[in-house]
Amino acid sequence: MRAPLSWIKEFVDTDLSIAEIAHQLTMAGMEVEEIKIIGLPMPAAGSVDTKVTGLSWDPEKIVVASISEVMPHPNADRLTLCKLFDGKEEVIVLTGAPNVYEYKGKGPLAKPLKVAYAKEGAVLYDGHADELVLTTLKRAKIRGVDSFSMVCSEKELGISEEHEGIIFLDDDAVPGTPLVDVLGDAIFDVKMLPSYARCLSMFGLAREIAAMTGSPLKPAPAPTVPTAGKPDFASIEITNPELNPRFTLGLIRDVKIGPSPEIVRRRLKMAGVRAINNIVDATNYVMLEIGQPLHAFDYDALLQRAKGQPVKIITRTARKGESITTLDDVERKLDESTMLVCDTAGALSIAGVMGGAETEVSEHTRNVLVEGASWNMINIRKTAHAQNLPSEASYRYSRGVHPAMAERGTRRCLELMQKWGNGSVAAGLVDNYPLPPKQPVVEITAHDVTRWLGITLATGQIADLLRRLDFSVEVKGEIIRAACPDTRLDIGEGITGKADLIEEVARV
C-alpha cells in the first residue's frame, strides 16, 4: 500500500520526522519497504533502515510561477514561449508542453496559469529519458531562442512518469513560493500483514500513528447523506450470508461526469491509483481514505437490463459454465465457488474483485448506483488467486473488512459524488445485513500483561493504550474490560482474545 504523508496528516497531528514515522509503523507490524521523497529534504543518513528514493527540490531554484501569456515560437510550431513571473522577475520561458497549446497566440490570459518553475542550476530528472536520470538545468539555445529555465512536468520533478504536459497548480498558489511548500510529500510503501485490513487506509494508518505516539486523532469523515427515507430505487437478495454478510446500495441522480479536483487526482496518483473521472474516483478515494472498497454501476444500464421491472440486486455463487466480461475487457470463466453480484438478467461483477463491463460508469452516465458490501475474506482470496486478478478491492477484502464499514463507505462515497459531480442523492439506503459479526469483549489485567510480556504497566496505562486503538474500555478494580471496535475482525474471544489484546499492548 502506498500512503502519502500529506494525506495521513489530514487525520493525525504529528511532529515526527519521516524516518521516525517509518520506524514506528515498522515496529508496529506495518513494514515500510520504501520511502519515496517528493521534494522534501532527504532523511539524514543512517536515520532510516528502509530504502529511500526520490528527489529533493531546491527551495530557491524550484518555485511556483504564473504564466500570463503564451506566444508562438518564431522557428518551431511545436514550441511556445511563455511570459512568466517567478515572484521576483518576469522572464520568457520556452516549452514544448502540449497542454499550453490552447493558450498560444491569444494574448494576455484573463487568469494566469500557475505552474512549477525550475531556474538555471536546478537539479531535475530528464523528462525524455527512459530511466530516472538526474540532470542540472543549464543555459542553452533551442531553435534560435535562449533557454535557461523551464516549466516542469511531473516526471521532471519525480512525482510520476507523466511527461506529456506541465503541471498546473491551484489558482491560489503564490508565485515565488518554494514548490516544496505546495507539493512536497513523502510516500510510504507499506507491507501489511494478512490480518491488518483495518490499517489499509489513510485513516487507519493515522489511527495507528496516533495510538503509538499519543498524538491527537482527528475524527473520520461523518457524511450527512443520504437523508432518512424509504428507498425505492432497488432491492437486495443475499443468498449466502456466510459469504456476503452485508450489502448496501445508495443512488445519486443527475451527476455530471468530469475530472475530479486536482488534489484528488494527485492523491490517487501518489497512492498508485489511476484517476478516471469524478464518479469512479470517488469510489477509489473512499477506499483509500477509510478502507471500504466500493463499486459504482450505471443505474440506467441496470434499468434497461430489468426491462421495466424494479432493479433487484442478487448476490450468489456462479453457476456451472457461467462467465463475465470484466472492466479490463477480459471474458472470465467462473468457478462455482465464485461470488457474484447479479441482477435478474445475470452477472454484474465478480464480488469483491472487479466490476463488469456492461454496467460500468462512462462519460454518458447520469444516474449512479453505489455498492458498499462485505465479503468472506477466504472466498475473495481464493477468487482473486483463481482468476489471477489482484485488485485494490480484493487486497482489502481478503484481509477482512468489517461489515460496519459498508454503510459508512457508501454514505461517504455518495457525499463526494454529490460534491464533485453535483447531482441529487436519493433518500435512504438499501441495506441488507443478515449476519452482523459478534464483537468480542475481552478481560485482561496488568498481571496478565506482565506474565505474558515480562514488562510492568499500570492498569490505567494499559486501558489508555487500548482506548487509543479505538477499543471501548471499562476498568473495574484490576480488571480491564475491552470491547472490540467495529473496524476490525482480528480479535478473538476467551484466551485467544486475551492473547490478541496483550499483543496490541506490545505493539504500541
pLDDT digits (tens, 9 = 90+) for 497-506: 999 999 999 9
What pLDDT, on the 0 to 100 scale, is given for residue 373? 99
What pLDDT, on the 0 to 100 scale, is given for residue 46? 84
Question: What cell does 387 get?
Answer: 482468476
State how far the Cα of 114 lies from the Cα of 151, in Å rounded to an integer. 10
State how far the Cα of 19 lies from the Cα of 42, in Å rounded to an integer. 9
Report the pLDDT averaged over residues 238-242: 99
pLDDT at 74 over 80: yes
Q: Are 12 and 218 in contact (CB under 8 A)?
A: yes
Q: Which residue has the cell 470491547?
A: 483
Q: Which residue has the cell 456476503?
A: 244
pLDDT at 47 over 90: no
Question: What cell does 163 get?
Answer: 511527461
Question: Which of 159-168, 335-344, 413-422, 441-450 is predicted with the least confidence, judged by mean pLDDT?
Answer: 159-168
What pLDDT, on the 0 to 100 scale, is given for residue 147? 84
CA distances from 443 to 65, 212, 365, 466 (A): 60, 22, 52, 12
Report the pLDDT averaged over residues 6-12: 98
Task: Give 323-366 as a 3 state SS string.
Answer: EEEECCCCEEECCCCCEEEEECCEEEEECCCEEECCCCCCCCCC
What pLDDT, on the 0 to 100 scale, is given for residue 497? 97
| CATH 3.40.50.720 holds for 441-507 | no
What pLDDT, on the 0 to 100 scale, is given for residue 335? 94
Bond into 4 cis (ω within 30): no
Q: Mind listing the pLDDT tens digit for each residue in 220-239?
A: 999 999 999 999 999 999 99
Sequence ranges of the domains in the chain = 2-57+184-213, 62-178, 235-432, 441-507
Q: Are 83 and 135 in contact (CB under 8 A)?
A: no
State how far the Cα of 178 lies from the Cα of 200, in Å rounded to an integer. 32
Q: If pLDDT is split at 50, 70 and 90, which confidence band does 338 have?
A: very high
Task: Give 179-213 as a 3 state SS string.
Answer: CHHHHCEEEEEEECCCCCHHHCCHHHHHHHHHHHH
Report the pLDDT averaged over residues 85-113: 96
What pLDDT, on the 0 to 100 scale, is given for residue 143? 72
In terms of average pLDDT, the best of 78-82, 92-96, 285-289 is: 285-289
pLDDT at 144 over 80: no
Q: Which residue has the cell 468489517?
A: 402
DSSP 8-state assignment for residue 19: H
Give me the CATH code for the 62-178 domain, please: 2.40.50.140
Report the pLDDT averaged over residues 351-362: 98
Report the pLDDT averaged over residues 4-31: 95
Q: If pLDDT is split at 50, 70 and 90, which confidence band does 418 have?
A: very high
Report the pLDDT averaged over residues 125-140: 91
Q: CB pairs under 8 A, 24+ apart, for 267-272?
A: 267/4, 267/6, 267/7, 269/159, 269/160, 270/2, 270/4, 270/7, 270/38, 270/159, 270/185, 270/187, 271/1, 271/2, 271/3, 271/4, 271/7, 271/187, 272/2
Task: Among 3.30.56.10, 3.90.1300.10, 3.30.70.1230, 3.40.1390.30, name the CATH number for the domain at 2-57+184-213.
Answer: 3.30.56.10
Cβ neighbours of 72 (radius 10 Å): 12
How would CATH label the architecture of 235-432? 3-Layer(bba) Sandwich (3.50)
pLDDT at 117 over 90: yes
Question: What cell does 413 get?
Answer: 462515497
pLDDT at 39 over 90: yes
235-432 and 441-507 agree in CATH topology: no
**Strand 150-151 relative to strand 441-445, pairing:** unpaired
Average pLDDT of the chain to the nearest whole number: 96
CA distances from 223 to 226, 250, 277, 405, 413 (A): 8, 13, 21, 13, 9
State how far the Cα of 235 lies from the Cα of 135, in Å rounded to an integer. 59
Sign, Cα dihedral of 496, 502, 504, 506: negative
Sign, Cα dihedral of 263, 269, 275, 281: negative
154's enclosing H/E stretch is helix 154-157
At 12, give phi and psi (nearest 5°). Answer: -145, 130
In percent, how much of the chain has pLDDT > 70?
A: 100
Q: Mind listing the pLDDT tens digit for each residue in 465-492?
A: 999 999 999 999 999 999 999 999 999 9
Q: Exposure of 495 by Cβ count < 10 A (0-12 exposed, 13-18 middle, 19+ buried)? A: exposed
Helical residues (DSSP H) of 259-332, grouped into ranges: 262-270, 278-290, 299-306
Q: Mention every residue, 6+ apart, whose C-beta is less than 8 A from residue 385.
A: none
Q: Which residue has the higher pLDDT, 49 or 413?
A: 413
3-class state of residue 474 by DSSP: strand
State how far the Cα of 148 lies from the Cα of 134, in Å rounded to an integer. 17
